[in-house]
């Protein structure tokens, strides 16, 4: 087995930052009215700015595959070009279409030659699953290098016109044309962007990071779906997929909008997150003392204190001075968040040889967690 190193890392955040006051103008007003949930959600998540692949006229500037392609082109240079890529592994929770796969569409934009591609599905963990596929492929000698990405273009899922059919339908029924909080909630949480890493079996470049191991944990056997798109949740907790609804219901029920069962989120995301963290510590014989930089992907600063308290409760608190977060100024970019966070840490100049970095990525879709343990070379 070969050692595997992150030898380069890059990000692409589209257009200029969007402030909290600009958000609704970008995404649009549903039924011509300001959201009552927006200020509450933003006060809790404490995100001050984010990025959207939308111009000042409301037109889309990049789709997801194009965002990813841009990040990969930032990653590459004259010493390692897109034509040198042997494996492309791309994770996202917001692909541009059902088929072809996300990685196939990215490859199509790169136009760089024949290579292997991989498209893990899922939510935030899909970016880490993309990384793990590349990690294992380089480690086993299947390829000499891999480019792995995480990306999101959720703005198109959050624009007001996605919900207009539902609002009109509610009006026809003389119901209150107010979207359920579970749908409105995510409009103020998610944003766009992409990150990419180059994996190689040699510690090349000025800031190589050795991947020591990667782990994943799922609690889907215990808990029903919490965040979902392309279906409707039934009273028994099961998801009925869009394909089982008549086509005329797709718009009337906003079936393709992302939704979050906030009741399940609050009661499970932290408990299971720390339970899985404890398992991975035990598995590898390490603890908080063996971590110099802790990078948790949290969707909202609302969860920050709760996460630490849960760590204390389960006996594995990681001291605050080891935490590194950037949610406030880049937003929640889902599968791309951990890539962009790591890129910012590397660029900060804080790392020194021998430092240990722990990446911790949850996804609330059905409560999965991914970990990576890195050493600064």
Q: What is the pLDDT of residues 287-322, one digit of tens each?
A: 999 999 999 999 889 899 999 999 999 999 999 999
DSSP assignment string, 44-103: HH---EE--SB-TTS-B---HHHHHHHHHHHH--SSS-GGG-SEEEEEESS-SSSSS-HH
356-363 vs 293-296, strand pairing mode: parallel
Q: Where in the chain are the domains?
A: 5-160+187-206, 214-223+260-376
pLDDT at 242: 95
Tell me yes or no: is domain 5-160+187-206 CATH 3.40.1080.20. no
pLDDT bracket for residue 30 (50, 70, 90)? confident
Q: Please give the residue that has the higher pLDDT: either 59 or 171.
A: 59
pLDDT bracket for residue 32 (50, 70, 90)? confident
For residue 95, the tally of other CB atoms under 10 A from its CB is 23
Q: Please give the residue that has the higher pLDDT: either 127 or 32.
A: 127
Of 117, 119, 115, 85, the residue nearest 7 (C-alpha): 85
pLDDT at 162: 66
Q: What are phi and psi of 126, to 5 degrees?
A: -65, -35
pLDDT at 10: 98
- Domain at 214-223+260-376: CATH code: 3.40.47.10
Coil, strand or helix: which one is 185?
helix
For the cut 60, the answer to whether the pLDDT of residue 177 exceeds it is: no
pLDDT at 166: 56
Q: Do domains 5-160+187-206 and 214-223+260-376 have the same CATH topology?
A: yes
Q: Which residue has the tokens 């990078």?
A: 295
**pTM as predicted:** 0.94
Q: What percent of the chain has pLDDT over 90?
A: 80
pLDDT bracket for residue 231 (50, 70, 90)? very high
pLDDT at 105: 98
């Amino acid at each position: 087995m070969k050692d595997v190193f992150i030898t380069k890392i890059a990000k692409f955040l589209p257009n200029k930052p969007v402030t909290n006051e600009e958000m609704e103008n970008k995404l649009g007003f549903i039924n011509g009215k300001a959201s009552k949930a927006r200020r509450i959600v933003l006060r809790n998540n404490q995100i001050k700015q984010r990025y959207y692949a939308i111009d000042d006229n409301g037109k889309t500037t990049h789709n997801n595959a194009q965002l990813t392609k841009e990040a990969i082109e930032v990653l590459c240079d004259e010493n390692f070009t897109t034509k040198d890529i042997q494996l492309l592994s791309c994770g996202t929770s917001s692909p541009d279409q059902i088929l072809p796969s996300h990685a196939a569409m990215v490859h199509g934009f790169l136009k760089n030659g024949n290579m292997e591609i991989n498209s893990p599905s899922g939510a935030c963990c899909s970016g880490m699953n993309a990384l793990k596929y590349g990690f294992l492929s380089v480690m086993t000698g299947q390829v000499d290098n891999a480019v792995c990405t995480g990306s999101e273009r959720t703005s198109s899922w959050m624009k007001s016109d996605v919900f207009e059919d539902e609002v009109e339908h509610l009006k026809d029924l003389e119901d209150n044309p107010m979207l359920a909080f579970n749908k409105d909630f995510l409009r103020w949480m998610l944003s766009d962007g992409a990150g990419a890493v180059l994996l190689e079996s040699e510690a090349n470049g000025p800031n190589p990071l050795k991947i020591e191991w990667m782990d994943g944990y799922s609690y889907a056997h215990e808990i029903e779906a919490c965040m979902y798109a392309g279906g409707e949740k039934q009273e028994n907790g099961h998801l009925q997929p869009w394909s089982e609804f008549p086509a005329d219901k797709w718009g009337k029920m906003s079936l393709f909008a992302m939704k979050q069962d906030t009741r399940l989120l609050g009661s499970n995301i932290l408990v299971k997150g720390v339970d899985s963290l404890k398992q991975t510590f035990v598995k590898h014989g390490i603890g908080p003392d063996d971590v110099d930089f802790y990078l948790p992907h949290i969707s909202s600063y609302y969860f920050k204190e709760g996460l630490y308290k849960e760590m204390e409760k389960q006996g594995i608190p990681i001291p605050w001075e080891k935490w590194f977060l950037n949610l406030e100024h880049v937003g929640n970019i889902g599968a791309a968040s951990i890539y962009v966070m790591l890129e910012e840490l590397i660029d900060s100049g804080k790392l020194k040889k021998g430092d240990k970095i722990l990446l911790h990525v949850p996804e609330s879709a059905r409560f999965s967690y991914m970990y990576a343990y890195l050493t600064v070379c």
